[in-house]
Structure 1
Amino acid sequence: MKSPLFLPAFCLLFLLIALPGTAETTEKIRSHQTLEAAVLNQNLPLEKRIKALKTLLSGEMTGGKLPRTFCIWDPIGKAGPIATAAKDQVLRSLHYGMQLTIDVFQNEQEMVETFASKKACDAILVRGATAQRFNRFLATTEAPGALPDRQHLQLLAQVLAKPEIAEHMTNAQYTALGLVTIGYSRLYADSAAKASLNSLDGKSVSVADTDTGFVRLVDTLRGRTRTADMPATVKTFTNELTEFMIAPDISYLAMANGRTGKETRGLAMPLGQSTLQLIGHSDRFPPGLAQILREDFLFKFNSYARMLDKELGNIPTSFWINPSSADMATLNENAQQIRLTLRNEGYYDPVMLRLARKIRCRFSPDESECKNPVE
């Protein structure tokens, strides 16, 4: 008698089919795939997709709800603009079956370490530069000069909500779930006369240690960088220990209430985008749920932008110094080289840089980079 190892292939197949539970398992797999395909199908009505999502996640739900915790960074605290805007997400999440808890952190680094250690926080809403350690693709949106205006970022947000982009948004540990604007990163100076990129030579400049692109920009312009975490960066500048600072618009809110010198001014020219990005643990946000969240972030893009504009609208017009043509030329000449250098070093994602270039060329097709691309 021949050993079972030498049974014909069709006999082995017959034995596998006959094993108890195999057909049931196959049916479950097919059902899961069908439901997931429905959730990812943007041509279906949203209600039908959400119904499929709830069925997919039913095994993880408690009382018909999926419990998740989002940790939010807001330098102002629970009453700050970011935390206030995030409260709206609690109600919206109920629509697709998620029971959301919001925890607010004023210390960004503490929140990041809490998330990375899996002690709490299924997802964190964090600055794009800080999110780089979790998803290089999305974090590259904050590269100097990559997306010059909000309309560029808004078009990118539409692209990010497409299921075809999901492979770039997810890795084995973490998944990027969307972004919102918190304005731009800009140059601040201790006087109007200094509010220029061309004034940095030999001068001290505060920059957050996570903002690698802007650290390189200061180095390129022969400034002396002083790096720390974001709160310490703001404090160093407001305490007049440095003459300049490069930081997000939202930093002005942290500098408000008399904590800035009377002569402090900001350069009106954006140096790069400033965003908050939602990063989750991949095992807590399967593809269907991640996709719905990304689309939800796109839906809310304009409302978050309006809230930001309302906050920044309180800044006196006299605070901003208009850039000179020399400032604009300095940024344009150096930003691309910094992006290319950091791309070659593996810090910036080449796919995002290429996508950003295509978006820039959509708005300014006559630029030389559109005819002779290097990104």
Structure 2
Amino acid sequence: MNARTLIATLFGLLFLSSAVVSHAADDLESRRNAKLEATVMNPNLPLEKRIRALKKLQADEMVNGRILRTFCVWDPLGKTGPISSTVEDQKLRSLHYGMDLTVITYQDESELIEALRSGEKCDAALIRGIAAMEFNRFAGTIESVGGLQTRQQVQLLMQVIANPRMAPRLQDENYTVLGLATMGESYRFSSDGKNRSLASFSGKAIATESLDPGMAALAQGIGARSVSGDMMGNVQSYADREVAGMMSPIIAYLVMGSGQISGDVAIMETPVAQSTIQLIGRTDKFPHGLAQILREDFLFKFENYARRVDNELALVPSSFWAKDTPQDIAKLEAESLKARLKLRDEGFYDPAMLRLQRKIRCKFEPSRSECANPQE
């Protein structure tokens, strides 16, 4: 072997050795990260151990030992509103997870959604569940009409969602669901307290949200005429008696304030749907482990958030609440099912979430006919 060949052989061996060492280092780093992520995603381990693993995974993201993130919040009542106040409280708790939050409050939900899309201001956005449909159909379907009927059912659903095995349904390459909380229920509002029955709305206008075709389908199912608009516009139309009623989250009452509505209105106490607030984050800002811990934290704080909702509901005068007849309740349930099936077949509602909701309804009421003869 001549000198030139020997040198070439030595360089080849050196390159091969370097590549082997590099590959081994990459493989070691990959195994280390996989082990850390498995630790973070395991809810059976002590939280402190999971957080330590999370901080190691996110070490490159940290500034002065903290992960800096911006949460944008929708609250129609501004920075002093109940939703914004809750997130301000969350800032302190998030420090425990190594996060340093900046909170920006928006009163215009559409403006907030655009800010989340652009990614220029908001790493995550706290928005209504029906608005979250754009970012995650599975989670958005939680607000399907008649899908869940009580707060206890919502809480059980949250326990299911917080399971790490559900993570693939809650994220894609762009967005991830970081948690959700109850925001009360959506109800049928009547502009005239004397007109409470479903039959009294036949042929009359009911304001429904353009974001929520389920409400429109239900209104049409009971013989009413759906007038579509955004929540704030619907509230004004209702307060001005331009419509016979509206279907809306109970937060609409808080937006109106007691001074804008007369004392002869009625809020029918049978929920049309459950209302939620959901935290949607950009996936590149919230990897699997961090997203999982945040979802579990929302579950842990469920009762705390629910008490805040109850405090707000206490502002609704008892005289405004009205009962539906058993016949109207049965009619609402039947028409809600028709609306869910229609919107499922049209690709709006997520079939997997509808099935999960049916199983939860049957968990609480095994005698329901749908438990033996499911259509969802």
The two structures have a TM-score, normalised by structure 1, of: 0.94
For 1:213-253, what per-residue CA distance to the aligned partner results, in whole angstroms no more than 9, with x for missing partners?
A: 10111122232222121111111111221110110011111
Distance in structure 1 (CA, Å) of the matches to 2:17 and 2:89: 51
Shift of 1:26: 1.2
Closer/same/farther in 2, CA of residues 220 and 288 from structure 1, 3 Å limit:
same
Q: Shift in Å at residue 199 of structure 1? A: 2.3
Q: What does residue 88 of structure 2 align with? A: 87
2:333 corresponds in structure 1 to 332
Superposition deviation, residue 93 in structure 1: 0.5
Unaligned 5+ runs, structure 1: 1-13
What is the identity, as a one-letter code, of the residue corresponding to 1:158?
Q
Counterpart Cα distance in 1 of 2:220 and 2:270: 19
Equivalent residue number for residue 128 of structure 1: 129
For residues 9-66 of structure 1, give each alpha carbon's deviation from its aligned partner in whole angstroms, at most 9, with x where no partner exists.
xxxxx95984452211111111110100000011110100011001111100111100
How far residue 350 of structure 1 moved from its aligned partner, in angstroms, is: 0.8
Question: Alpha-carbon deviations, 1:153-185, whole Å to 9, x = none?
Answer: 000010111000001101121111111011110
Residues 70-90 of structure 1: CA deviation (Å, up to 9, x unaligned) = 111111111111111111110
Point out where structure 2 has 5 or more consecutive residues left out of the alignment. Answer: 1-14
1: CA distance between counterparts of 2:343 and 2:225?
A: 20
Whether the 8 Å contact between 2:143 and 2:274 is mirrored in structure 1 is: yes
Correspondence for 1:181: 182
Residues in 1 aligned to 2:49 and 2:196: alpha-carbon distance in whole angstroms: 53
Q: Which has the larger radius of gyration?
A: 2
Alignment of 1:307 onto 2:308: yes
Match for residue 252 of structure 1? 253
Matching of residues 168-207 of structure 1 within 5 Å: 168-207=169-208
* Aligned residue number for residue 212 of structure 2: 211
Please give the secondary structure, in 2, of the residue aligned with 1:274.
Answer: strand
Question: 1:261: Cα distance to partner?
Answer: 2.2
Match of 1:99 in 2: 100
Distance across 1 between alignment mates of 2:119 and 2:41: 28
What SS class does the counterpart of residue 28 from structure 2 fall into?
helix
Residue 80 of structure 2 aligns to a residue in which SS? Answer: coil
In structure 2, the residue matched to 1:320 is 321
Give the SS at the match of 2:125: strand
Structure 2 length as normaliser, TM-score?
0.94
Q: Is the 8 A contact 2:148 2:361 kept in 1?
A: yes
For 2:362, the aligned partner's letter is C
Name 1:115's counterpart in structure 2.
Answer: 116
Deviation at 1:314, TM superposition (A): 2.0
- 1:118 Cα deviation from its structure 2 partner: 1.5
Verify the 8 A CA contact 1:187 1:197 in the aligned structure 2: no
Structure-1 separation of matches of 2:165 and 2:125: 23
**What residue identity is the alignment partner of 2:368?**
E
The question of whether the paired residues in 2 share the 8 Å contact of 1:35 and 1:53 is answered with: yes
Change (3 A) 1:16 1:195: farther
Give the secondary-structure state (helix, strand or coil) at the position aligned to 2:371: helix
Which residue does 1:236 correspond to in 2? 237
**Inter-partner Cα distance in structure 2 for 1:322 and 1:138:** 30
Matched, 1:275 2:280: no
Which amino acid is the alignment partner of residue 364 of structure 2?
A: F
